[in-house]
Amino acid sequence: MKTQFLMGIKQYANDTEFIALHKNMGFTPLKLARFFVLTSFEKVILQKRGALGDAKVDHGWFGASKEEIIQIISYGFSWCNGQSHGLGVYLSPFEFLLDAVKFTIADENGMRYMLLCYLTMGNMEVIPAGSKQVYPSSVEFDTGVDDLEAPRRLLVRSAFMNSHICPAPACNITFKAPFFGFVLSRDQISELPGISLSFHGSASTFPALFPILATVIGPAKAV
């Protein structure tokens, strides 16, 4: 995970210090309930799509402050973080991890925090920049993207933020990046070629994702 994260940081990797990968291994009743809701909606999407395909389970990065990350892990999402393509929760695929870094806020020790999340994308619709949409344009759509072929922005509407997004078991990355304060705005991030990483773009189901993550992060260790 460290190697993939630094690859995603691209030209800023040498100035970025990877501090820790925190594993979200504690299953409280609330966390189990959220995961049950997520897998239930995956089944609903599969039934709705029928012969059209799968539920398109993917991964996305979410950047925020330390306090916000802790709140999300404990209680789920409760606010939207963008509206460039309509109001909703914006996450970034591995190829555009830098976009998610824009939303991180350094704490008193200069640490920044990001979440790796599961996403049930389902049937995606293209949302143009400047859209004022709050809900999908049709019941046929589940989520939104800025581009179907190479999405940079993965958009989940506020009504579905806790049914279509769930922090992954190896979810919280802590890092230091002294230069991000002035280089990372969406307009300033250069359109560098995307890096092909093993997770993004694969259509899978939640049970199938756990062994994939296990090969990357290794077994859980008692602390």
Give the domain CATH number at 70. Answer: 3.90.228.10
Residue 207 lies in a domain: no
Residue 211 lies in a domain: no
Name the domain count of the chain: 1
C-beta of residue 49 within 8 angstroms of C-beta of residue 120: no
Residue 215 lies in a domain: no
Residue 71 lies in a domain: yes
End-to-end CA distance of the chain: 20
Measured CA angle at 218 (ends 214, 220), to 5 deg: 95
Domain encompassing residue 108? 2-9+23-187
Look at residue 169 in the predicted model and tell me its pLDDT.
72
Give dist(CA 41, CA 55) in Å, integer: 9
Residue stretches of the chain with pLDDT short of 50: 51, 181-218, 220-223
Give dist(CA 142, CA 45) in Å, integer: 8
Residue 88, φ and ψ in degrees, nearest 5:
170, -170
Residue 216 lies in a domain: no
Residue 159 lies in a domain: yes
Closest CA to 177 of 125, 103, 79: 103
Residues 6+ away with beta carbon under 8 Å from 22: 170, 171, 172, 173, 174
Residue 146 lies in a domain: yes
Residue 56 lies in a domain: yes
Tens digit of each residue's pLDDT (9 = 90 or more) over 4-23: 888 888 888 888 889 988 87
Task: Report, in this order, helix, strand and coil percent for the chain, each rounded to 5.
Answer: 35, 25, 40
